[in-house]
Amino acid sequence: MKIYFINTFYQSYFFFFRCCLTLISKFHKSKSILILDLDNTICNTWPLLNIEPDLAKVYSRADCFFGVKDYVSSLVQNRNIILVILTSRNLKYFYATKQWLKYNSLNYQFLFMTNSIDLKFVFYKYLISSRKTIIIDDLSYNHENGEVFFYHNIINHLEKNKNVTYLNYLSLQNLQSHI
Residue ranges of the domains in the chain? Answer: 2-176
Model confidence over 101-146: pLDDT tens digits?
999 999 898 898 888 898 888 888 877 776 789 999 999 999 999 9
pLDDT at residue 165 tops 90: yes
**Residue 2 has what pLDDT?**
32
pTM of the model: 0.86
63-67, 154-158, 170-174: which range is least confident on average? 170-174
Domain 2-176 in this protein, CATH class:
alpha beta
d(CA 43, CA 19) in angstroms, rounded, equals 28
The DSSP element (H or E) to which 135 belongs, if any, is: strand 132-136
Q: What percent of the chain has pLDDT over 70?
A: 81
